[in-house]
C-alpha cells in the first residue's frame, strides 16, 4: 500500500513496559502493519524521525537528551501522544523529585555504599539530568494522553484503530478503570 | 513540659474534642508541637498519635518544627497587596534578617505569609504570635523589628500596633439600633417559642454566609429531629478574603449575636452552643468571654434562663488557620478536634452535625438578624429588601475607595450606589463575594446585590483602573491551592494545576493552547470537587476569562508551545556537579532560539 500511516515510538524516562504492552496486541500487529509503517522506534532501530502521522511517547523527561528526542518527535509528528503514567505524570522516575538532585548524585556516585572510584560522571557524550523529572506535556504540546501503567494492549488497539479510521479517539470506561 | 500538658489536658477533661484548643496552647507556649507532647497527649486523650499529627499538619498555625519565639505572619490578601504588602514584607525580612518562610538562626523570630486576616479595611495587616497587627507601614515595621530584637514580650508592645477599628460607615436596620440585653429572649418567651419561629419564617431571613438557605426552615428541621441532644453553632470562621463584618459584629454587637444563638437554642431545644471563632480573631477572645460571663450573671445564659426553664450555654472555640473550616461540615469536624475535612452531605448538620447530633450552623450576621426579628417581629425585617432577599446585608468593603469599612444596605441595592457611597471612582471592576464569588466589570454596575442577582457573603473588593486583573487572579489561584484541604483529588491536584497554569500565563510563558487547557481544567475542578471550595476555586479565572479574554490573550506568545519552567535552569545543578559548560550542557527554552 502506497500511503501507509507512519508511526514513530520512543521511550524517554520509561521502562519500555508500555512498548511491551503495545506488543501484546499480538496477532493484531499483522492487521496493523497492513495500514501502518513504523518510522523511528525500538521496533525498527531507525535512529531519527522523518515526517510521521503519529508519535507515541513513553516515559517522562528526566534529562537533556529526552528534551531533544521529544522535540524531534514534536517537529515530525502530526499527532503526539503521551503513553502511560510516566509520560503523563512523571511516574516512578519522578519519585526522585522529592530529593534534591545534588543528594541523588552524591548518593549514587560519591557517598553510597560500595561506590568505587567515586566521581560524578562528566563527558560531553552524557546527557545531563534535569533537577526534576517532568511530564512530557510540560515540555512540548501533547495532543492525546493514554492513561495506564502500562495502558493495556486493548487501549493501544482502540486508540490507534480510531485514529487510523478517522474517528476522534475515545476510550470506554472498561479500558481505563483500575478496579 | 509534661506538667504543662498534663495541666491543659486536665482542664479539657481529657476530651479529644478539645484537641485544637489544647494544641493552640502548646503552640503558643513552645512555638511548635514537640514530638514528646504528641506522645503524651495520645495517652491522655486516648487517641492515636497519628491522629494528632494529622491535625497538626492540617492547620496552618500548628507546626511540627520550631517557629520563632516571635511568629510573624503577614496577610497575603489581595487587598494587602494593593496596599503595598510586597515591599513591606521585603523590608521586614531585611530588617529582621530572616527569609520569608524561615526561622532566624537564633530562633528568635520567624516570618511567613498567611491567608487574609480579615483586616482588609486597615491593612497591610499581620499577626504576631496570633495577635492582629494593623496598618503596617515602614515606621511600624521599624518599631516591630526593634521590639523583637529587644525581645520585649508581645503583651508589652505599644497598643497602637494592635489597634483594630470598626469603621462602620453606613448603618441600616440592624446596625442602627442594638437590642437591649435579654429583649429578644423576653419577646420570644412572651410571644411563645413556636410563634417566634413563625416570625422568623415570616421575616424571610436567609443564611448570611452566602448560600442563603432559609433560616426558619433550617431551625424547624432541626427541632423536628428525633434526637433530643442538639447543638447551636455560630460560624465566625470568617475566612473569605475581603470579609471582615463578623469581626465588627463580634466586637460591637456580640450581645445580640449571643442572644440570637440563645433564641435558636430555645426554638430547637439545644443545651449547648459554640462560637467557632477564626484563630485570626484571637484579639476578640477575652472580650467575648467576658460578655458570656456577664450574660451568665444576668441570667441570660446557664440554667433556667430568665426563669423560663431554658438551659443553654455557649463555648468559644478558636480555629487555627484553615479557610475550609468556614464550610459548615468542616467546621463541625474542627469543633470535634479533627482536621477540617468536609463531610459528605447529606446527611446535613441539621440531622447529623456535632458528634452526630442535630446541629444548626449559622453565620454571625444571621444570629444577629434573628435576635432583631425576635424583638421587632417578622414584618420589621420583611418590609425591606427584595422579593426573595428580605432585610439588609452587611458588607465588608475594601480595595480602591476612600472609605473602606462596614456598610449595611437593604437587599436590592445597586453596585453603583455602593461605589458612590464609599468614594470609589475610576473603577475597573468589583470582586463580589470574595475569591469564590464573581468578578463584575464596570459595564455591570447597575446589577443588584440580592440572591436573585449577585449573592454575597459580604465581601466587596474594589479595583480601580490602575490595577491588573491578572494580579488578582494570580493571588486567588494561589490562595485556593494553599487552602485546599487535600481530601479530594480534583481539588487538591486541580487547584495546584490552576495555580501553575496561571503562573505560566502571567509569567509570559503561555501560548495558544494554554488558555484552552486552562478552561478545561477549570471545568474539571468545578464539576468534580467534593465541596464548595473546589467547586468555586475556578471562579476568579472563569469570570475574568469571560469578561477580559483579550487580557489573557495579550500575555500569550505567538508560538505553539513553551515550557512553563526554566529548562536551562533545570540543568544547573547537574552542570555544576559534572563541571561542564559545553553547548551540550545547555538547553534552549524554545527550539527557535538556537536549535
- Could you tell me the residue ranges of all domains in chain B? 2-58, 70-162, 169-382, 392-467, 470-554, 568-595
Instruction: Please indicate whether, in this complex, the C-beta atoms of B578 and A120 are within 8 angstroms of each other.
Output: yes
Nearest to B574 among A67, A101, A141 (CB): A101
Rounded to whole angstroms, the Cα distance separating A61 from B453 reads 48
The CA distance from A150 to A152, in Å, is 6
Query: At how many degrees (to 10) do helices B85-96 and B138-149 cross?
Result: 30
DSSP secondary-structure letter at A95?
Answer: G
The pLDDT of residue B161 is 96
Asked if residue A56 has pLDDT above 80, the reply is yes
Cis amide leading into B124 (omega within 30): yes
CA distances from B388 to A148, B70, B392, B415, B457 (A): 50, 49, 12, 18, 16
Least Cα separation, residue A104 to chain B (angstroms): 11
C-alpha cell at B30: 513552645
E-strand stretches of B337-417: 359-363, 392-399, 405-410
Nearest chain A Cα distance for residue B497, angstroms: 12
Model pLDDT, residue B210: 82
Closest CA to B80 of B379, B475, B460: B475
What is the distance in angstroms between the Cα of A141 and the nearest Cα belonging to chain B?
6
Instruction: List the single residue in A with minimal CA-CA distance to B564.
Output: A138
- Rounded Cα distance between B488 and B118, Å, is 27
Nearest C-alpha neighbor of B454 from the set B539, B541, B361: B539
Main-chain dihedrals φ then ψ at residue B441, nearest 5 degrees: -90, 175
User: Is the Cβ of A119 closer than 8 Å to some Cβ of chain B?
Assistant: no
3-class secondary-structure state, position B531: coil
Which one of B500, B573, B585, B588 would you mutate to disrupt binding with A, by most A Cβ within 10 Å of its Cβ? B573
- Residue B150 and residue B69: Cα distance in Å, rounded? 12
For residue A105, which residues of chain B lie inside 8 Å, CB to CB?
Answer: 573-574, 577
Nearest C-alpha in B relative to A140: B561
Per-residue pLDDT, averaged over B121-129, amounts to 96
- Distance (Å) from the C-alpha of residue A5 to the closest C-alpha of chain B? 24
Asked if B587 and A64 come within 8 Å (Cβ–Cβ), the reply is yes
From CA B244, how far away is CA B403, in angstroms rounded?
A: 14
pTM for this entry: 0.89
Residues 2-61 of A with CB under 8 A from B: none
Q: Do B563 and A102 touch (CB under 8 A)?
A: no
Which residue of chain A has the CA closest to B565? A138
Whole-number pLDDT of residue B594 = 43
Q: Residues 6 or more apart from B106 whose CB is under 8 A from it?
A: none
- CB of B585 within 8 Å of a chain A CB? The answer is yes
B contact test, residue of A141, A142, A147, A178 with most B CBs within 10 A: A141
Between CA A56 and CA A77 the distance in angstroms is: 9
Residue A120 to residue B579, Cβ atoms within 8 A: yes
Q: How many CB pairs under 8 A join A and B?
A: 60
Domain pair B392-467 / B470-554, same fold: no
SS3 B128: strand
A42: number of Cβ within 10 Å: 13
From CA B534, how far away is CA B526, in angstroms rounded?
Answer: 6
What does the pLDDT average to over A17-32? 96
* Phi/psi of residue A94, nearest 5 degrees: -75, -5
Q: What is the DSSP string of B253-285?
A: SHHHHHHHHHHHHHHHT-SEEEEEE-GGGGGGH
State what percent of residues in chain B have pLDDT above 90: 95
Residues A141 and A74 sit within 8 Å (Cβ to Cβ): yes
A102 vs B contacts (CB less than 8 Å):
573, 577
Cβ contact (<8 Å) for B577 and A105? yes
C-beta of residue B188 within 8 angstroms of C-beta of residue B266: yes
Interface test with B, best of A67, A75, A126, A132 (most B CBs within 10 A): A67
Instruction: Tell me the CATH number of domain B470-554, given options 1.10.510.10, 1.10.1040.50, 3.40.50.2300, 1.20.1440.230.
Output: 1.20.1440.230
Nearest to A131 among B573, B580, B582 (CB): B573
Which pLDDT value is given to residue A179?
64
Residues of B in Cβ contact (< 8 Å) with A134: 565
Q: Which residue has the higher pLDDT, A43 or B288?
A: B288
pLDDT at B595: 41
Residue A44, number of CB atoms within 10 A of its CB:
12
User: How near does any CA of chain B get to the CA of A29, in Å?
Assistant: 34
SS (H, E, C) B20-74: HHHHHHHHHHHCCCCHHHHHHHHHHHCCCHHHHHHHHHHCCCCCCCCCCCEEEEE
The rounded distance, in Å, linking the Cα atoms of A49 and A31 is: 23
Query: Is residue B201 helix, strand or coil?
Result: helix
Contacts for B185 with CB less than 8 Å, ≥ 6 apart: B259, B262, B263, B266, B300, B305, B306, B308, B374
Query: If you search the block for the grid coordinates 523589628, which residue do you land on?
Result: B145
Read off φ and ψ for residue A60, nearest 5 degrees: -90, -170
Sign of CA dihedral B154, B155, B157, B159: positive
pLDDT tens, position by position, B323-349: 999 999 999 999 999 999 999 989 999
Residue A53: what are its φ and ψ, rounded to 5°? -90, -45
Buried b (16+ CB within 10 A) or exposed e, A124-161: eebbbbbbbbbbbbbbbbbbbbbbbbbbbbbbbbbbbb
Residue of B nearest to A120 (CA): B578
- Assess contact for B502 and B537: CB atoms under 8 A: no
Distance CA B201, CA B508 (A): 53
Report d(CA B46, CA B283) in Å as an integer. Answer: 32
Are B587 and A102 within 8 A, CB to CB?
Answer: no
Contact A131 B571 (CB under 8 A): yes
pLDDT in tens, B34-80: 999 999 999 999 999 999 999 999 999 999 999 999 999 999 999 99
CB contact under 8 A, A67 and B587: yes
Contacts for A68 with CB less than 8 Å, ≥ 6 apart: none
For chain B, say whether A132 makes contact (Cβ under 8 Å): yes
Write the CA distances from B385 to B395, B408, B421, integer angstroms: 15, 12, 18
pLDDT at A1 over 60: no
When CB atoms are compared, the residue of B565, B578, B591 closest to A138 is: B565
B552 contacts B545 by C-beta, under 8 angstroms: yes
Element (H, E) at B589: none
User: Of how many residues is chain A composed?
Assistant: 179
| ipTM associated with this complex | 0.90
Burial code (b: 16+ CB inside 10 Å, e: under 16) for B131-162 equals ebbbbbeeebbeebbebbeeeeebeebeeebe
Query: What phi and psi, each to the nearest 5 degrees, are found at residue B455?
Result: -80, 145
From the candidate CATH numbers 3.30.2320.30, 2.10.10.90, 3.10.20.600, 2.40.50.100, the one assigned to the domain spanning B392-467: 3.10.20.600
Cα-Cα-Cα-Cα torsion B117, B123, B124, B126, nearest 10 degrees, comes to -30
Closest to B204 (Cα-Cα) out of B350, B364, B376, B381: B381
CA dihedral in degrees (A133, A135, A138, A140; nearest 10)? Answer: 110
Section B239-251 average pLDDT? 97
> What pLDDT was estimated at residue B592?
61
Distance CA B280, CA A160 (A): 56
Q: State the CATH class of domain B169-382.
A: alpha beta
SS3 B214: strand
Q: What is the pLDDT of residue A177?
A: 79
Q: Which residues of B445-465 are buried (b: 16+ CB within 10 A; e: fewer)?
A: bebebbbebbbbbbbbbbbbe
Which residue in chain A is spatially nearest to B513 when comparing CA positions?
A141
Per-residue pLDDT reduced to its tens digit, B6-41? 999 999 999 999 999 999 999 999 999 999 999 999
Substitution target in B489, B497, B571, B580 with the highest count of A β-carbons within 10 Å is B571
Say what the pLDDT of residue B512 is: 83
Mean pLDDT of chain B: 95
Distance CA B243, CA B241 (A): 6
Mean pLDDT of B301-321: 96
**Spatial CA neighbour of B264 closest among B408, B380, B373:** B373
Nearest by CB to B591, from A71, A105, A134: name it: A71
Percent of chain A with pLDDT over 90: 94
Comparing C-alpha atoms, which of B266, B449, B476, B250 is closest to residue B363? B250
Q: How many residues can be counted in chain B?
A: 595
Residues B70-162: name the CATH superfamily. Answer: Glutaredoxin (3.40.30.10)
- Mind listing the domains of chain A with CATH numbers? 5-95+133-176 (3.40.50.700)
Amino acid at each position: 500500500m502506497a500511503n501507509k500511516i507512519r508511526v514513530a515510538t520512543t521511550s524517554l524516562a520509561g521502562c519500555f513496559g508500555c512498548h511491551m504492552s503495545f506488543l501484546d496486541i499480538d496477532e493484531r500487529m499483522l492487521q496493523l502493519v497492513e495500514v501502518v509503517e513504523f518510522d523511528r522506534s525500538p521496533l525498527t532501530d531507525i535512529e531519527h524521525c522523518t515526517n510521521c502521522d503519529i508519535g507515541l511517547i513513553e516515559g517522562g523527561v528526566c534529562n537533556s537528551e529526552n528534551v531533544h528526542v521529544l522535540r524531534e518527535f514534536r517537529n515530525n509528528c502530526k499527532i503526539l501522544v503521551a503513553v502511560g503514567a510516566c509520560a503523563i505524570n512523571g511516574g516512578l522516575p519522578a519519585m526522585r523529585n522529592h530529593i534534591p538532585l545534588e543528594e541523588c548524585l552524591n548518593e549514587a556516585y560519591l557517598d553510597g555504599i560500595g561506590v568505587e572510584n567515586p566521581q560524578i560522571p562528566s563527558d560531553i557524550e552524557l546527557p545531563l539530568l534535569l533537577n526534576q523529572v517532568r511530564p512530557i506535556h510540560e515540555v512540548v504540546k501533547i495532543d492525546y494522553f493514554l492513561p495506564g501503567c502500562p495502558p493495556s494492549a486493548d487501549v493501544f488497539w482502540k486508540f490507534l484503530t480510531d485514529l487510523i479510521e478517522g474517528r476522534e479517539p475515545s476510550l470506554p470506561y472498561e479500558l481505563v478503570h483500575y478496579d | 513540659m509534661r506538667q504543662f500538658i498534663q495541666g491543659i489536658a486536665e482542664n479539657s477533661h481529657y476530651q479529644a474534642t478539645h484537641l485544637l484548643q489544647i494544641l493552640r496552647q502548646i503552640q503558643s507556649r513552645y512555638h511548635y508541637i514537640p514530638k514528646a507532647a504528641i506522645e503524651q497527649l495520645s495517652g491522655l486523650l486516648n487517641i492515636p498519635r497519628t491522629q494528632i499529627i494529622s491535625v497538626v499538619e492540617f492547620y496552618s498555625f500548628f507546626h511540627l518544627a520550631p517557629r520563632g519565639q516571635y511568629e510573624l505572619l503577614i496577610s497575603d490578601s489581595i487587598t494587602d497587596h494593593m496596599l503595598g504588602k510586597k515591599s513591606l514584607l521585603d523590608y521586614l525580612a531585611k530588617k529582621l534578617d530572616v527569609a520569608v518562610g524561615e526561622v532566624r538562626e537564633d530562633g528568635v523570630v520567624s516570618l511567613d505569609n498567611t491567608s487574609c486576616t480579615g483586616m482588609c479595611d486597615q491593612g497591610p495587616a499581620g499577626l504576631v504570635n496570633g495577635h492582629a497587627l494593623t496598618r503596617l507601614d515602614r515606621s511600624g515595621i521599624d518599631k516591630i523589628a526593634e521590639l523583637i530584637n529587644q525581645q520585649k514580650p508581645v503583651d508589652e508592645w505599644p497598643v497602637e500596633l494592635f489597634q483594630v477599628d470598626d469603621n462602620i460607615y453606613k448603618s441600616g436596620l440592624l446596625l442602627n439600633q442594638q437590642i437591649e440585653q435579654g429583649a429578644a429572649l423576653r419577646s420570644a418567651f412572651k410571644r411563645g417559642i413556636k410563634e417566634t419561629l413563625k416570625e422568623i419564617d415570616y421575616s424571610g431571613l436567609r443564611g448570611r454566609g452566602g448560600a442563603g438557605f432559609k433560616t426558619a426552615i433550617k431551625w424547624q428541621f432541626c427541632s423536628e429531629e428525633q434526637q433530643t441532644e442538639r447543638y447551636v453553632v455560630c460560624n465566625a470562621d470568617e475566612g473569605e478574603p475581603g470579609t471582615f463584618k463578623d469581626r465588627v459584629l463580634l466586637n460591637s454587637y456580640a450581645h445580640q449575636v449571643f442572644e440570637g444563638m440563645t433564641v435558636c437554642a430555645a426554638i430547637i431545644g439545644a443545651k449547648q452552643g459554640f462560637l467557632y471563632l477564626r484563630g485570626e480573631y484571637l484579639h476578640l477572645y477575652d472580650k467575648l468571654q467576658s460578655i458570656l460571663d456577664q450574660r451568665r450573671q444576668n441570667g441570660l445564659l446557664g440554667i433556667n434562663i430568665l426563669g423560663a426553664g431554658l438551659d443553654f450555654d455557649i463555648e468559644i472555640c478558636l480555629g487555627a488557620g484553615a479557610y475550609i473550616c468556614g464550610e459548615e461540615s468542616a467546621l463541625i469536624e474542627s469543633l470535634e478536634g479533627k482536621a477540617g475535612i468536609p463531610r459528605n452531605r447529606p446527611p446535613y448538620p441539621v440531622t447529623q452535625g456535632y458528634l452526630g447530633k442535630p446541629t444548626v450552623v449559622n453565620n454571625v450576621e444571621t444570629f444577629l438578624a434573628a435576635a432583631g426579628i425576635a424583638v421587632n417581629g417578622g414584618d420589621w425585617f420583611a418590609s425591606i429588601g427584595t422579593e426573595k432577599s428580605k432585610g439588609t446585608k452587611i458588607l465588608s468593603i475594601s480595595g480602591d475607595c476612600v472609605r473602606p469599612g462596614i456598610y449595611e444596605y437593604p437587599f436590592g441595592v445597586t453596585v453603583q450606589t455602593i461605589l458612590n457611597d464609599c468614594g470609589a471612582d475610576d473603577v475597573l471592576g468589583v470582586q463580589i463575594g470574595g475569591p469564590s464569588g464573581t468578578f463584575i466589570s464596570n459595564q455591570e454596575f447597575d446589577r443588584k446585590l440580592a440572591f436573585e442577582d449577585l449573592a454575597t457573603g459580604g465581601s466587596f473588593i474594589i479595583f480601580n483602573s490602575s490595577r491588573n486583573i491578572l494580579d488578582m487572579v494570580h493571588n486567588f489561584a494561589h490562595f485556593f491551592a494553599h487552602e485546599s484541604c487535600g481530601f479530594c483529588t480534583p481539588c487538591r491536584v486541580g487547584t495546584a494545576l490552576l495555580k501553575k497554569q496561571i503562573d505560566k500565563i502571567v509569567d509570559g510563558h503561555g501560548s495558544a493552547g494554554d488558555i484552552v487547557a486552562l478552561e478545561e481544567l477549570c471545568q474539571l475542578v468545578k464539576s468534580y470537587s467534593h465541596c464548595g471550595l473546589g467547586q468555586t476555586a475556578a471562579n476568579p479565572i472563569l469570570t475574568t476569562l469571560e469578561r477580559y479574554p483579550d487580557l489573557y490573550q495579550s500575555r500569550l506568545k505567538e508560538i505553539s508551545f513553551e515550557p512553563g519552567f526554566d529548562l536551562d535552569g533545570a540543568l544547573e545543578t547537574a552542570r555544576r556537579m559534572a563541571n561542564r559548560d559545553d553547548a551540550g550542557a545547555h538547553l534552549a527554552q524554545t527550539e527557535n532560539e538556537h536549535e
